[in-house]
Structure 1
């Protein structure tokens, strides 16, 4: 209760200070379920931080509400017959927040930064298939690829390849860039504290006439579900994400609120440290999976706003294979543990990468399920900063402290490779990417490399299906659920929408009295 009271007090203060202005001024407050990790889109591994960064940044392409790539700072593109060269014509007359012109030189500078492995940017792997970037004219730039990439536009649109002011890139190191956003976007920074608030105000010189329609947005991290809901009802917040699913019925009955529920491509899973005993034994990993009742998990922790996972990647992703809901069989789990040499079970760590109320329910549920088969767990809920320090930034795989780790992956490029490679490629272990279970299978790595360069869609999907069959059998993670993306808003707030990737879009958001 002390934490909830402090957040409500903070939000009330922000309403007066910089965030929620009177409705006529169209300033709003948005309460989100986690803290921000960084405002540098080339470093942000979490979708929340990249979604919020849309306040400042734009890329050559962006996703529309249906997750289709559409031009943003680019006007058009051409592709060479061999698929190795992509030439983009850029928008003219666009200005960065510092007043300098957006042009091809700025594009090259941004991509040269991320493509330099010595910069150790976490999103390097997303774009490393680019060989070089060449300026062909003030508003024309060519990307030469190492191999064909059919999903290149999706990679550009996912919120990573955003255009940062050249002056910022030249002035600041990585930490400075993370705290001093400067782009071409509709808002500019007013105030920022990663664990407390992010206040942005209208960019008066934005390139699109009439946008943005809001004067300001105050983003407030609020991990407690009940507190977010209370803020919405009292008017201290105008949009909350995620919506407390246990309060859907009550909130739907409120005429002052709008409820948003979108089937998502978010996979929630239990990462298993395959490098550490006893989880280096596939039988133990299989036992963990058999011990968890997915249908019950959806009801107990997600209040029905999730579906049991039926594959490695969600069914909306091209090339996804379905294997059915993982079988719940505690007896089989105990047999496998006995066979692996653990007839009395064992004790291990169970961590959550999120500290919101729903994650707490998930961890409690999994702890109870595992305990029934003899796997006793010591639980820990990590805040965003702890998650980065303990798991995402770990440089020594053998010393990684995580064992069982509840986390999620939203396939932000809407294609099979990025739905699996960051989690299961042995070359993408922290601090590079998100293979936080330290899974290593040379065959899987080989298939990833073959598939990503395969231009024939049918052959490419066959390769990805082989990968999925291996992963489903070897259980490097316990695949849990596909979680719906939920949000709620004041009825006067329009065009602020949750997306299937569990982010949100607010480009045309407005307040209508």
Structure 2
């Protein structure tokens, strides 16, 4: 029996499911089935010191993990905050972090044992009570955007100074994976209690390798080395300057000009240009980020499945990948790349380009002459161009987009205040467990479900994905859930993206994982490069 088969057998037959077992299972789910043969080589002899200069688009909505909402927030979040559980950037295998180990003592009880001697940046101790405080806050705070991640949790208790016990409403073996993300990033309770209305959006205090220094809106986020970091000898950098540059070409040029060392969240056009420059490294690695038009399917016209399906048949995804991604992405009718363990090949390309079928569905829905759909878009040039191409394809079957380039507050209104628009083009993804993606996008309390409605069949299928720790059973459950979402056309998926970055030769041990969530613990600068 192979090691992976033995791990699965232990999960099925053992009375307790511990961290070691789950790590082995995670290798099946996140490693062997996801990134076969891919490893990251570590550069030798790191040299401490220096400030890493980063160019990145998008001013964060918040630097409080539970109130932020965008994938690029993680550029800074994992510098300031440690999560309860980490993951390997190459394999996505779960690894200890603030929780040194974890065990399912029964299918509805998860016990975390915590690292000793950790302190928050404000000097207060990291304890089991601090973890309970944070998880309760994620579930109950009115401003929390991550309630859907913990929808299966019934209660959290500190069962010792270094132990946390989580009771579940129903089995959910995806929870350790979920604790690698926003809900697992632990904020100092003292900082929250001292802040007006508990708002620490702009004053983050974590346990991470870097301490927050300042945030100049749309200009700069600065962090400095945490001299008391609990992982001795880390980090190597003295600090990081995150320069916020919303125009992607400008951000890329700062690396070319030597003004920054690393540019994040780049697009295909910048990668193509940078690859012609021998002094730069431009990477486009496989990614869990995808582009989709999120729909408010709770109100007309998108509450009609025929309209939603018509839109999906109207899209030529192969053309979008060639033009928008320069071939670096993948056309998809779902949300995941074709080599991801939870994707079902049978429905991954369900919607082929079929304008005639789209027109027929529109006529059946009562729109023989087409219709207009009020649509939002991010205001940057790349996003506008992306939506123009999609809109042109939809117009060929009579679907006209009434587009409003929106500042972040309008995006907030679309997702959180029902009635503001019908559709928005948005990059999505960046969650380690696929159940998080489905919950966030389509669950009734999901952050990106504008209408806040949910089909009972969706809930039944989603709950089934966490009912077993067995890889094969989870894969089958996700295949059924994927088919439901695709056939119901709950959104308009276009292409999966790539994790794209540009850097100079000085930046060492830098890894951009599939989730676009970089960690800077071991990054260092080679001044001789």
Interval of TM-score (by shorter of Structure 1 and Structure 2): 0.7 to 0.9
2:58 is the alignment partner of 1:39: no
Task: Kindly report which structure 2 residues correspond to 1:331-370, keeping only aligned pairs within 5 A, or say none.
Answer: 331-352=356-377, 354-370=378-394
Of 412, 422, 426, the residue aligned with 1:403 is: 422
Of 81, 85, 89, the residue aligned with 2:113 is: 89
Q: Secondary structure at the match of 2:166?
A: strand
Task: Kindly report which structure 2 residues correspond to 1:45-444, keeping only aligned pairs within 5 A, or say none.
Answer: 45-65=69-89, 66-80=91-105, 82-115=106-139, 117=140, 119-173=142-196, 176-322=199-345, 323-325=347-349, 326-352=351-377, 354-388=378-412, 390-394=413-417, 397=418, 400-415=419-434, 417-425=435-443, 427-428=444-445, 433-436=447-450, 440-444=454-458
Tell me by how many angstroms 1:54 deviates: 1.3
Q: 1: distance between equivalents of 2:451 and 2:137?
A: 29
Q: 2: distance between equivalents of 1:254 and 1:312?
A: 33
Partner of 1:15: none
TM-score by length of 2: 0.85
Tell me by how many angstroms 1:174 deviates: 5.5
TM-score by length of 1: 0.87
Tell me by how many angstroms 1:49 deviates: 1.4
Cα distance change of structure 1 residues 371 and 335 upon mapping to structure 2, 3 Å threshold: same
Q: 2: distance between equivalents of 1:109 and 1:437?
A: 30
Runs of 4+ in structure 1 off by over 6 angstroms are none
Work out whether residues 34 and 355 of structure 1, in 8 Å CA contact, stay in contact via their aligned partners in 2: no
Work out whether residues 224 and 357 of structure 1, in 8 Å CA contact, stay in contact via their aligned partners in 2: yes
Q: 2: distance between equivalents of 1:118 and 1:419?
A: 21
Structure 1 gaps of 5+ residues are 1-22
Q: 1: distance between equivalents of 2:319 and 2:341?
A: 28
Structure 2 gaps of 5+ residues are 1-46
Q: 1: distance between equivalents of 2:301 and 2:169?
A: 40
- Alpha-carbon RMSD across the aligned residues, in angstroms, is 2.3
Tell me by how many angstroms 1:140 deviates: 2.4
| Structure 1, 288-297 or 211-220: larger mean CA deviation | 211-220
Cα distance change of structure 1 residues 363 and 203 upon mapping to structure 2, 3 Å threshold: same
Q: Secondary structure at the match of 1:99?
A: coil
Tell me by how many angstroms 1:68 deviates: 1.8
Q: Secondary structure at the match of 2:363?
A: helix
Cα distance change of structure 1 residues 84 and 440 upon mapping to structure 2, 3 Å threshold: closer
Q: Secondary structure at the match of 2:307?
A: helix
| Structure 1, 136-145 or 365-374: larger mean CA deviation | 136-145
Q: 1: distance between equivalents of 2:399 and 2:300?
A: 13
Q: 2: distance between equivalents of 1:288 and 1:405?
A: 14
Work out whether residues 312 and 472 of structure 1, in 8 Å CA contact, stay in contact via their aligned partners in 2: no
Q: 1: distance between equivalents of 2:298 and 2:97?
A: 43
Work out whether residues 55 and 187 of structure 1, in 8 Å CA contact, stay in contact via their aligned partners in 2: yes
